[in-house]
Structure 1
Amino acid sequence: MDENGYTSNLWVYDLQKKSSYQLTGLGKERSFNWLNGDEILFAATRNPKDQERQKKGEDLTIFYSIDIRGGEALEAFRVPMQVQALEPLGGSEFLLTCTYNPQRQNLSSVSEETKAAELKRREEEKDYEVLEEIPYWSNGKGFTSKSRSRLYIYNRDDNTLEPLTGEVLQVTSVELNCDKTQAVIVGAEYTGMMPITNSLYIADLPAKTVRKLTPDEEFSYSSAHFVDDQKIICR
């Protein structure tokens, strides 16, 4: 066994023909999104050079597109962060949930000298963690002190990545409305200790703004969903 892990590939099931066929075969493809009726977008690290960059501590997520009617997977775009989830917004824009940590510098726009120094620092510090927040661990994610699940809007044409939510807001749930112009967000803003309660937020995606929806009373929401553009149901 070369490494410890699970094998996962993408398959397509034809509801009319009641048959399935395998779409990918590298064993590491898991999450995906439909771009349209024929194309699927998925994250993978296929290039050995990109794999080496990630091993050295660089934050990088590469997305590929593939036509379910046939053909090879082609690189669509890459994001200089750890992307947890992606939602197409239409056109060239995507809503991304990324892992944000203010102590990890974005290396996409710095000089090679600065990049090398930052990667060296990460290598030197990889064997220990400075724990400054509670909780400091999450199953499946590892150490989470100072880290946040943060929303960004990525423009594929411009190759721009713009933060939507703030640095201290931990996003735990996000859902789009039908026309993908709004998002309802469940999250908690904190520093030091995460509260057991949280709040609801509404994001205006074209305007790229976020406002708090719920009052300051103590509630704990697990999810929220649009009934229509004026009503939200939550639990």
Structure 2
Amino acid sequence: MKEFCLSGDGNIVVSAVFEGSRPNLSELSGKEQEDAMRKVKEGKDIQVIDELPWWSNGAGFTNKRRTRLYLFNTATKTVTAVTDPLFQVTGFRLSPCRGYLVYFGFEFLHTEEKMTGLYLYSLATGESRTLLAPVYAIAQADFLNDSTIIFSGSDQKTYGFYTNPWFYTVEIGSGKLAVLAEYDCNVSNVILADCRLGGGITFKTYEGSLFFTGVVNHDCYLNKLDANGEITHVVQEEGGVDCFDVGQKGIIFIGMMGQRLQELYFFDKERNGITRITSFNEELYTNYYVAKPQPLSFTETDGFTIDGWVLLPFEYEPQKKYPAILFIHGGPKGAFGTVFFNDLQYLAGQGYFVLFCNPRGSEGKGNAFAAIRGNYGTFDYDNLMQFVDLCIEKYPAIDSGRLGVTGGSYGGFMTNWIIGHTDRFKAAVSERSIASWISFIGLSDIGISFGEDQMDANIWSGPEKIWRQSPLRYADKAKTPTLFIHSDQDYRCCIPEGYQMFTALKRFGVETRMCVFRGECHDLSRSGKPIHRVRRLQEIAKWFDDRLK
């Protein structure tokens, strides 16, 4: 079970995982059931795949696995399926009158679809009807009232996979579709941090308005969209609102404000003020060094402002010289902010300047700023190098002869790219990276949907364009000692990406090492086993310490 809610008749609406590759044992009995169970056990070491993608990061092999909607009758203890076996439900909401469900998703027959449809289910009649065919990638939907549905969706036409969604309404009776508000930010919190736990509501209607989270520059605000299409910022503090709920007196939310880890806050509508309710981890702020991000921004050649920050090393003395590490975020359409980020704080605590910024391709400044399709390793790389130059200029205590670079996912891609294009860094750590977009497209759980889109080409019609944007092509020019960290169950940036870069550097005589974490996925640094997360930090620190100190 993934989510549930109570319907108007006291029954329960449930979204749950359905294994379409296994027999339905509840429909069998006696010898038939025993035979079916025996065949399942006999085939437990065999995996058949016949669709794309066939696996998912953090979930393993997912062939024929779907999220379906069900109704559980509390009186008869029976379950009724709302959606078909191969329909993938990506979200649902119950109407204010509790008589209808709106759900969105797509029929997943052979290849996962990019676009999702919007559907209405009557709890009284047990029938579904299509409100909107799959022409938008719908991120969220809710009932604005009993007759109108609001959703955020993107047609992905202009900027591809990462096109920011607009807000639309659909009239339930007529099916009339209308644009309520054009929006040029992501409708979620993509301010990156490695210390969050769990999740919650990020999109909810209340008294005829929609409340939602969204990143503006490098903070995640809580916003309100009214019935006239006007968007206002309700909570716009430094940091980020992770999730919330709204009621008559105000809004309660979980957020990371300033340099604090997640806390519970209350926004009082009457006095228009915020009160922090909890005080977790006080020992961290009083007994340990927590570096405050020092802002440092510049305007690049195309007129975009690049926001960045510097963390000062522990026991910093301006007259001394210190090594510095450039830390590159993932995404690429994520964003750094000023929230607490353990990896960054750890390196600052080890005596390093830590440099981090949001180059082009990042979230928070609109579609045009985030657009790097077909141009990976161009102006994003230039922005990062310009930022390092600026940091060295503004902080003379940085020893330009002792620079390191690191990052994971897109940050790992860029680390791989950097070592093939400059030798200014004396040590590098590349995590869960990409070596070749050709192998990424063929292996990753988002290879077709994301990889082809971001390369603006496919392997067969544009192999040279893809190879040109692949770090492996330039690995023969690398000279930087590089540590590769990868997880064997990473199905997003699969482990062959790390192996290929490691092999290339060994082939050309560059000092290199690879550390593989078994049983972990792409999210090792955020949700891996504690013992593995500690070992990972030890590997990173030792690699840099041995070469930069």
**What band does the TM-score fall into relative to the shorter chain?**
0.5 to 0.7
Count of matched residue positions in the alignment of Structure 1 and Structure 2: 152
Which of these residues, 144, 149, 164, is aligned with residue 227 of structure 1? 144
Which of these residues, 76, 83, 101, is aligned with residue 158 of structure 1? 76
Larger fraction in helix: 2
Q: 2:86: which partner in 1?
A: 168
1:1-235 maps to which residues of 2 (within 5 A)?
83-215=1-133, 218-235=135-152
Q: Matched residues in 1 for 2:17 and 2:108: separation?
A: 16
TM value normalised by structure 2: 0.27
Residues 89 and 137 (structure 1), Cα distance of their counterparts in 2 relative to 1, 3 Å cut: same
Percent pairwise identity = 29
Residues 164 and 111 (structure 1), Cα distance of their counterparts in 2 relative to 1, 3 Å cut: same
Q: Matched residues in 1 for 2:5 and 2:42: separation?
A: 35
The one-letter amino acid of 2:149's match is I
Residues 190 and 108 (structure 1), Cα distance of their counterparts in 2 relative to 1, 3 Å cut: closer
Q: Matched residues in 1 for 2:13 and 2:117: separation?
A: 20
Q: 1:64: which partner in 2?
A: none
Deviation at 1:113, TM superposition (A): 2.1
Q: Matched residues in 2 for 1:84 and 1:106: separation?
A: 20
Deviation at 1:90, TM superposition (A): 4.4
Deviation at 1:121, TM superposition (A): 1.2
Deviations 1:21-49 (A, max 9, x none): xxxxxxxxxxxxxxxxxxxxxxxxxxxxx
DSSP 3-state at the match of 2:2: strand
Deviations 1:80-102 (A, max 9, x none): xxx33222224551112122234
Deviations 1:171-190 (A, max 9, x none): 00011112321111110113
5+ residue gaps, structure 1, are 1-82
Q: Matched residues in 1 for 2:49 and 2:36: separation?
A: 20
Query: C-alpha root-mean-square deviation of aligned residues, in Å?
Result: 1.8
5+ residue gaps, structure 2, are 153-549
Q: Which stretch of structure 1 is more off in the superposition, 190-199 or 102-111?
A: 102-111
8 Å CA contact 1:92–1:157 kept in 2: the answer is: no
8 Å CA contact 2:116–2:133 kept in 1: the answer is: no
The one-letter amino acid of 2:151's match is C
Residues 191 and 154 (structure 1), Cα distance of their counterparts in 2 relative to 1, 3 Å cut: same
Q: Matched residues in 2 for 1:174 and 1:214: separation?
A: 14
Residues 138 and 180 (structure 1), Cα distance of their counterparts in 2 relative to 1, 3 Å cut: farther
Larger fraction in strand: 1
DSSP 3-state at the match of 2:35: helix
Residues 183 and 138 (structure 1), Cα distance of their counterparts in 2 relative to 1, 3 Å cut: same
The structure with the largest alpha-carbon Rg is 2
Deviations 1:2-37 (A, max 9, x none): xxxxxxxxxxxxxxxxxxxxxxxxxxxxxxxxxxxx
Q: Matched residues in 2 for 1:132 and 1:120: separation?
A: 23
Deviations 1:151-184 (A, max 9, x none): 1111122122111112221100011112321111
The one-letter amino acid of 2:36's match is E
8 Å CA contact 2:53–2:63 kept in 1: the answer is: yes
Q: Which stretch of structure 1 is more off in the superposition, 167-176 or 89-98?
A: 89-98
Residues 102 and 121 (structure 1), Cα distance of their counterparts in 2 relative to 1, 3 Å cut: same
Q: Which has the higher contact order (CA 8 A, sep 6+)?
A: 1
